[in-house]
């Protein structure tokens, strides 16, 4: 019996005025921890390319990598909604490719829905996927897979014309059947306007407090990625330095002969036979 949070539950949260909690998640132990913390949506984002796999951008991430990590998150959770990102070029070439790859993330990966980037230009692709029975979350504003076109990681919607385009993008995605839309790095006032305009939930990241929910990257939130800290991120813990100190203490104990002790060792009651065994051998 599947008791996971469904897209209907997420839509109902917006109607009741309840905020949605979404967080990136890339592996089994993290999924267990986030589920225990009652996170609503576990999101296998293509950010795994940067914070887990060491790529410079999200662009190199493959479908096989997304499937691998999605499966792990599914195994580590039972209540949260599992959302998988569609990586670069898994949906841009043709609607048929998009449908096939979205289906793989559900059929092979075990996700409950998929996310893809873009506005008006991907609306028909989203419609096709949704009509096949696959729930889709949209993503507009700063779309990391398009950074080469955008000129880097920049706030979007800062001019009247750009703001109008983003509103039109949001409406197009809703009309195409998207059950929710990520708004990334857009002015807070614009995010508020879009949120009020739509019947489906908005999930903000760098989009101010008036969205219907928020998403953050696991490693940013917990201080596990020190290359940079985005302006929109708040560090709730500095686990990176704690891990370094813990491992440094372990290394010192090993080098000084303080670990392991008898407490961490397996002993026999009558060890004399061991010496005899060594002599015979």
SS (H, E, C) 210-237: CCCEEEECHHHHCCCCCCCCCCCCCCCC
Q: How far is CA 85 from CA 58, 240, 280, in A?
A: 11, 26, 61
Segment 20-58, tens digit of pLDDT: 999 999 999 999 999 999 999 999 999 999 999 999 999
Question: For the chain, where are the alpha helices, taking DSSP H only?
Answer: 7-16, 28-36, 48-51, 63-75, 95-107, 123-131, 147-150, 160-176, 188-197, 218-221, 239-255, 272-280
Tokens of residue 3, six digits:
């008791």
Residue with tokens 């008036």: 210
The residues annotated with a catalytic role in the active site are 184
Segment 120-169, tens digit of pLDDT: 999 999 999 999 999 999 999 999 888 777 777 788 999 999 999 999 99
Q: What is the pTM of this model?
A: 0.94
Domains recognised in the chain with CATH numbers: 7-237 (3.20.20.60), 242-280 (no CATH)
């Amino acid at each position: 019996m599947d008791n996971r949070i469904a897209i209907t539950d997420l839509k109902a949260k917006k109607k009741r005025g309840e905020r949605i909690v979404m967080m990136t998640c890339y592996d089994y132990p993290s999924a267990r921890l986030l589920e225990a913390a009652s996170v609503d949506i576990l999101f296998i984002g293509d950010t795994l390319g940067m914070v887990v796999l060491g790529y410079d951008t999200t662009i190199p991430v493959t479908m096989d990598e997304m499937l691998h990590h999605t499966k792990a998150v599914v195994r580590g959770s039972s209540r949260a909604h599992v959302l998988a990102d569609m990586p670069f070029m898994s949906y841009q070439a043709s609607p048929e490719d998009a449908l096939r790859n979205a289906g793989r993330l559900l059929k092979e990966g075990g996700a409950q829905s998929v996310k893809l980037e873009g506005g008006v230009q991907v609306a028909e692709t989203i419609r096709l996927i949704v009509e096949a029975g696959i729930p889709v979350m949209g993503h507009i504003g700063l779309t990391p897979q398009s950074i080469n076109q955008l000129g880097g990681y920049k706030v979007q919607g800062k001019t009247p014309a750009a703001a109008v385009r983003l509103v039109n993008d949001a409406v197009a995605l809703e009309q195409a059947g998207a059950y929710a839309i990520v708004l990334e790095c857009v002015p807070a006032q614009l995010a508020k306007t879009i949120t009020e305009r739509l019947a489906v939930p908005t999930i903000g990241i760098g989009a101010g407090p008036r969205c219907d929910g928020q998403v953050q990257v696991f490693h940013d939130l917990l201080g596990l990625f020190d290359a940079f800290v985005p302006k929109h991120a708040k560090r709730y813990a500095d686990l990176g330095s704690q891990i370094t100190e813990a491992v440094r203490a372990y290394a010192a104990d090993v080098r000084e002969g303080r670990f392991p002790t008898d407490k961490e060792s397996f002993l026999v009651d009558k060890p004399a036979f061991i010496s005899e065994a060594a002599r015979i051998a």
